Structure 1
């Protein structure tokens, strides 16, 4: 299927690894021009080289920015060309008991996970509306609905993303612009993989066995019964980026492996 992305330009925040990298790769495969993002030029250069090796002829560039710093986000917005597809993917997470999370931690998580999408959308959405075409996609998490007791500060930000996305979609009435959210499930990113390998080494167990036990212990409602691969989230993001998805707007679509025990 031709997703009609060959003339489009995309910006994917937090895309030097994990889900963001997988989304950038699939958009490039479909012929889109993609601008990736990471906190440092070194990370961006490494990701660019990898993408160009895997996709010969890929039109990929990168702009560094730390989304905890509003001034760096302002500079990023000034450096960006006209963007057709905005993927608000950047985010931070950690396991920490509620009573150990300081006010500054709450502020940092909100700044990176929520305000990144607010600032990018505020800067890029008006031009999409003026051109009468655009796609804005937020990458949220099932943790924004099933709030983990050891990641309440993280879950809060993922809930907020759902509200921001739905609210922004109200601004797109009678246009060719859409705003949607993907609710991801437990995904085997680099960070998760590193933690699993540490557990495996410490316990002297096979990595696959550790992964299976973690899913059973932490996500017993999963219908997939395994970690999701970043590429499996990216498939949905790439479709939502396409002109073919115009009838999907203001939606929160699940790619959670069936972890959420709800119909909607």
Structure 2
């Protein structure tokens, strides 16, 4: 299968590192005109340099966790063909220690960013009768982690929003889907695992394996996925070849969720 996104403009939020960076790279390699987004211009500039050999890449600094940041982004880039709502944060914290401010902060970053940008870009996609919106959710949307219930809540919300938006595309060539990664060795997760390793006096590889075995025992691949493995799924979902995939919550979680559907 030859995925060709030439002539398409793709915006990936939170793409200066991690899964978003890998998705941006995949889009660029497939021929898309890629827009990298991050909160600071310095991080955006660094990401553009790293991605320059992959293809057409430009960037816009905007904090999409705020309404004002989304307005800045929409004003700078009024139309896109592909929107990947990737921006997200997580934090392990006992439920009884999570204040209201943390619930609101995670909701604004993980959920409202995608709502605001989809509201801004989807009408143009419908008018042109082609477009792709992809929410980067998580297996935590289905298997709420007891160590970060507020994070799981935001990921479940993303599934509801993506399915609801897909209902608005009926009879068009616009699709809206969610991709659910499992434990993925992004920069943020690597830091998390490194901190655990220091606390436990073990190597990073050992602690990563222990984390999967102890905290995600249902995983079939029994390891963290790479960011490129997640990006591969997203690039396909955004392609012309995925035209019959709409309103779906697609798993890239290594078989961690022990259900058929």
- Compute the TM-score of the two structures, normalised by the length of structure 1: 0.96
* Equivalence for 2:19: 19
CA spacing shift, 1:63–1:24, aligned 2, 3 Å: same
Q: Distance in 2 between the 1:10 and 1:229 partners?
A: 22
Q: Distance in 1 between the 2:118 and 2:200 partners?
A: 45
Where does the alignment leave 5 or more consecutive residues of structure 2 unmatched?
Answer: none
* Equivalence for 1:67: 64
* Equivalence for 1:102: 99
The answer (yes or no) to whether the contact 2:219–2:255 under 8 Å persists in 1 is yes
CA shift, 1:65, in A, is 1.4
Q: Distance in 2 between the 1:216 and 1:51 partners?
A: 34
1:210 maps to 2:207 = yes
Q: How does 1:1-264 map to 2 (within 5 A)?
A: 1-52=1-52, 54-55=53-54, 58-264=55-261
CA shift, 1:161, in A, is 0.3
SS of the aligned residue for 1:109 comes to: helix
SS of the aligned residue for 1:83 comes to: coil
SS of the aligned residue for 1:121 comes to: helix
CA shift, 1:68, in A, is 2.8
SS of the aligned residue for 2:133 comes to: strand
Q: Distance in 2 between the 1:120 and 1:200 partners?
A: 38
SS of the aligned residue for 2:178 comes to: strand
CA shift, 1:4, in A, is 2.4
- Compute the TM-score of the two structures, normalised by the length of structure 2: 0.97
Root-mean-square deviation (Å): 1.1
Q: Distance in 2 between the 1:113 and 1:174 partners?
A: 29
SS of the aligned residue for 1:44 comes to: helix
CA spacing shift, 1:205–1:102, aligned 2, 3 Å: closer
Q: Distance in 2 between the 1:68 and 1:177 partners?
A: 25
Q: Distance in 1 between the 2:64 and 2:79 partners?
A: 20
Q: Distance in 1 between the 2:93 and 2:106 partners?
A: 13
CA shift, 1:103, in A, is 1.2
Q: Distance in 1 between the 2:236 and 2:191 partners?
A: 29
Where does the alignment leave 5 or more consecutive residues of structure 1 unmatched?
Answer: none
Q: Distance in 2 between the 1:122 and 1:199 partners?
A: 39
Q: Distance in 1 between the 2:142 and 2:227 partners?
A: 20
Q: Distance in 2 between the 1:235 and 1:38 partners?
A: 21
